[in-house]
Structure 1
Amino acid sequence: MLVAAGFVTEEQVEEALASQKESGLRLGAELVALGFVTEVQLIQVLSNQLSVPWVSLHHIEMTRELLDLVPADVADRYGLIPVYRRVVRREGETLFVAMDDPTNEDAIAEVRRASGLPVKPMVAPPTDIRNAIRVYYLGMAPKAPEAPRRARRHTDEIAIQDVAAKAAATP
């Protein structure tokens, strides 16, 4: 679907599949790590493919009451964070949860047990979820995003070339 959406080429998918064998990452995460797509592009396609809404966590303030519905260890283990509670017809009050894997039935079941509420999964960028967990559960500053692996490799090559050039220029 990423190819159909015009976000990546077939060649980039092939490169990511080869690289994935070493990294062990899921294909989408590998495409992000290589800098071929952004997390937001990946999440938009995943949302469309799974018919699960996607959410940006940047402007959402989580309340302590909301956070208390899901223990920190559950949020951290499954890569999820409660976003809001709403009344849903035929289900009553429902907890909407941003997840990096909205198909994880074990995570949904555990959140349902912990909160005592029906759970509706949403999808959000994994980095945003990890940062929200750091900020809201652990009281830490958000982590700065990492450069894609491809950019880091290029930067490392430049640094090595700079060191080699300086060494050659030294009498």
Structure 2
Amino acid sequence: MVKENLISQVQLTQALEAQKKNGGRLGSCLVKLGFVSDEDVTTFLSRQYGVPSINLTYFEVDPEVVRLVPEDTARRYEVVPLSRVGSSLTIAMVDPTNVFAMD
């Protein structure tokens, strides 16, 4: 984010200190400190990981598809099933680096 001029090196250092003290994700710390918006973090991570982002506020999820993933599993891995085509299930996930959720 520093290289893309979304935040300064000083802001990154402050956010890392807040993360160390309070825990949580770095992006969340940056938002809480007012350095970036949720949308800034989402867009940045989408580009970094090469995965599309989606705003679930405007997405209508089929209840039948939601039932394909047990609620406790969805909460644990922070995923939401979006659609199913044949045997392929498309999910939205909070953390695209969570390899356990992908399995």
Match of 1:14 in 2: 13
Deviation, 1:71, is 0.9
Matches within 5 A, 1:40-79: 40-79=39-78
Deviation, 1:46, is 0.7
Deviation, 1:29, is 1.7
Q: Which runs of 5+ in 1 are unaligned?
A: 87-91, 110-171
Match of 2:102 in 1: 108
Deviations 1:15-37 (CA, angstroms, capped at 9, x unpaired): 11111111111211211121211
Deviation, 1:51, is 0.8
Report SS of the residue matched to 2:20.
helix
The runs of at least 4 consecutive aligned structure 1 residues that moved more than 3 Å come to none
Match of 1:30 in 2: 29
Measured on the aligned residues, the alpha-carbon RMSD in Å equals 1.4
Q: Give the one of 94, 114, 138 matched to 2:88.
A: 94
Q: Which runs of 5+ in 2 are unaligned?
A: none
Matches within 5 A, 1:122-161: none
CA distance in 2 between counterparts of 1:96 and 1:33 reads 30
1:35 partner amino acid: G
If you compute each CA radius of gyration, which structure gives the higher value, 1 or 2?
1
Deviation, 1:82, is 1.1
Report SS of the residue matched to 1:58.
helix
Task: Work out which structure has the larger RCO, using CA pairs closer than 8 Å and 6 or more positions apart in sequence.
Answer: 1
Deviations 1:75-97 (CA, angstroms, capped at 9, x unpaired): 111111112224xxxxx642111
CA distance in 1 between counterparts of 2:88 and 2:96 reads 16
So what's the TM-score if we normalise by structure 1?
Answer: 0.56
CA distance in 2 between counterparts of 1:14 and 1:50 reads 23
CA distance in 2 between counterparts of 1:81 and 1:48 reads 21
